[in-house]
Amino acid sequence: MALTRAAVVPEAEPVDKTEPSVQEVVPEAEPGNRTEPSVQEGESHSMETYTVCPSGWTGFSGRCFLYVPTPLSWANAERNCQNRGGNLASVHSFNEHHVIQSMIWRLTHTYPLTWLGGYDATQEGTWFWSDGTPFRFNFWSPGNPNNYRGGQHCLQMNYGDHKKFDDDFCSYSRPFICARKRWCETGELSLRGQLTDSSLSRYQFEFNLAGGGVRLLCKASTVNPQTQESTEERHRRRG
């Protein structure tokens, strides 16, 4: 029996949109002895973060990937990935497919049939990724997708001798791949407080994701906006 869309594309469970809070700041020493004045409480420092992935996830091309060995139906696997802050993985290039396949081999020493985020339950033959990205990378095994018995609407990888894509019944239980954007994406955030040693220009800080109980250590470099503004003003005057 063909799966309905509701069964194949579950509604995302509520996600806590609360911004992660900075839990602690741990100075990371740099070589050299500087004599800059200490940073006073109340000064705001801009911090440019580096992109990283949570522990256990593999980073590639701006995203993080996780192999989950627990077999679930496609719909339940998608819900599981949503609870982790992502979706079942979309694949957009041979290199991404190779990275995912290598990750599975490294963890299992085999190539099990594994759910990805592709589905065509909405319209037979028109494939989508559950994360909403365009479905443009076709890596189907020979003779697929074939919609066997009119009910195969979900995409698995590692099928057949070529270990490529295949359509299968969404109710089957498979291990699966989750994907999410990297945490600590490159950008800026503000930190107010007292930094006890201004000779340190690089810091480590820890995010505690609200409701998830997951902590992530990020690295950042800091710039005092007041000092930067003063420097820019001096340059303007000289000009």
Q: What is the pLDDT of residues 6-54, one digit of tens each?
A: 334 444 444 443 443 333 333 333 444 433 334 344 444 444 444 588 8
Q: What is the pLDDT of residue 1?
A: 38
Say which residue the tokens 């095994």 belong to. Answer: 141
pLDDT at residue 182, rounded to an integer: 85
**What domains lie within the chain, and their CATH numbers?**
18-52+185-238 (no CATH), 55-181 (3.10.100.10)
Helices (H), the chain: 5-8, 74-83, 94-108, 225-238
Percent of the chain with pLDDT over 70: 55
Residue 168: in which H helix or E strand, if any?
strand 164-169
Q: Which pTM value belongs to this model?
A: 0.61
What is the pLDDT at residue 50? 46
Low pLDDT (below 70) residues in the chain? 1-51, 183-239
What SS3 state is found at 114? Answer: strand
Could you tell me the CA-to-CA distances from 125 to 10, 133, 139, 167, 239 in Å, in that order? 20, 17, 15, 10, 64
| Pairing assessment for the beta strands 87-88 and 174-181 based on DSSP bridges | antiparallel
Given a contact cutoff of 8 angstroms between Cβ atoms, the answer to whether 129 and 136 are in contact is no
Helix, strand, or coil (residue 136): coil
Q: Give me 8's structure tokens.
A: 């194949």
- Give the count of alpha carbons within 13 A of 36, CB side only: 15
